[in-house]
Amino acid sequence: MLDSTELALYRRLAHEQAASRAPSLVAAVVRDGELAWSGARGRVGDQRPDGDTQYRLGSITKTMIATAVLRLRDEGKLDLTDPIERHLPGTSFGSATVAQLLSHTSGLTSESPGEWWERTPGADWATLVASLEKGATKLRPGSRFHYSNVGFGVLGELVARHRGRPWFDVVRDEILVPLGMNRTTPHPEGAHAAGFAVHPFADVLLPERWPDTGAMAPAGQLWSTITDLGRWASFVGGFTGDVLSGDTVAEMRTMNTVDDTEVWTSGFGLGLMLVRYQGRQLAGHTGSMPGFLAACLIDPATGTGAVCLANSTAGVGITQLCLDLLTTADDLEPALPAEWQPSTVDPELVALTGLWHWGPTPYLLRVQSDGLLALNPVAGAGRASRFRPEGPDTWLGLDGYYAGETLTIGRDATGKANHLDLATFIFTRTPYDPAAPIPGGVDEGGWR
Summarize pLDDT for 165-181 with one digit per residue, the tens. Answer: 999 999 999 999 999 99
Q: For residues 309 and 104, give the distance between their C-alpha atoms in angstroms, rounded to a whole number.
A: 24
Residue 187 belongs to a domain:
yes
Both 312 and 396 in one domain: the answer is no
pLDDT, tens digit, for every residue of 281-296? 999 999 999 999 999 9
pLDDT, tens digit, for every residue of 58-92? 999 999 999 999 999 999 999 999 999 999 999 99
Both 168 and 271 in one domain: the answer is yes
For residue 266, give the 3-state DSSP assignment. Answer: strand
Q: For residues 56 and 223, give the distance between their C-alpha atoms in angstroms, rounded to a whole number.
A: 4
Residue 442 belongs to a domain:
no
Both 218 and 295 in one domain: the answer is yes
Q: For residues 347 and 420, give the distance between their C-alpha atoms in angstroms, rounded to a whole number.
A: 18
Gyration radius (Cα) of the chain, Å: 25
pLDDT at 261: 66
Distance in angstroms between the alpha carbons of the first and the last residue of the chain: 63
Both 325 and 381 in one domain: the answer is no
For residue 161, give the DSSP letter.
H
Task: Give the up-direction half-sphere exposure of residue 371: CA atoms within 13 A in the CB hemisphere.
Answer: 7
pLDDT at 51: 97
Domain boundary among 287, 309, 332: 332
Residue 276 sits at φ, ψ, to 5 deg, of -100, 125
CA distance to 55, 282, 357, 417, 429, per residue, from 436 (Å): 63, 43, 11, 10, 9
pLDDT at 364: 97
391: confidence class by pLDDT, cuts 50, 70, 90: very high
- Please give the sequence-ordered ranges of beta strands (E in DSSP) within 161-237, or none if there are none: 196-198, 205-207, 223-224
Residue 441 belongs to a domain:
no
Residue 258 belongs to a domain:
yes
202 φ/ψ sector (left φ>0, alpha ψ -120 to 50, else beta) = beta
Bridge partners of 406, per DSSP, are 396
For residue 428, give the DSSP letter.
E
pLDDT > 70? residue 380: yes
Residue 355 belongs to a domain:
yes
Residues 6+ apart with CB under 8 A from 282: 274, 275, 276, 297, 298, 299, 305, 323, 326
The residue count for the chain:
448
Q: From 113, 182, 183, 184, select the one nearest 149 (Cα to Cα).
A: 113
Domain boundary among 298, 332, 366: 332
Over pLDDT 90: what percentage of the chain? 90
Both 317 and 364 in one domain: the answer is no
Residue 29 belongs to a domain:
yes
Both 326 and 351 in one domain: the answer is no
- Which CATH number belongs to the domain containing residue 409 in this structure? 2.40.128
The whole domain housing 207 covers 21-332
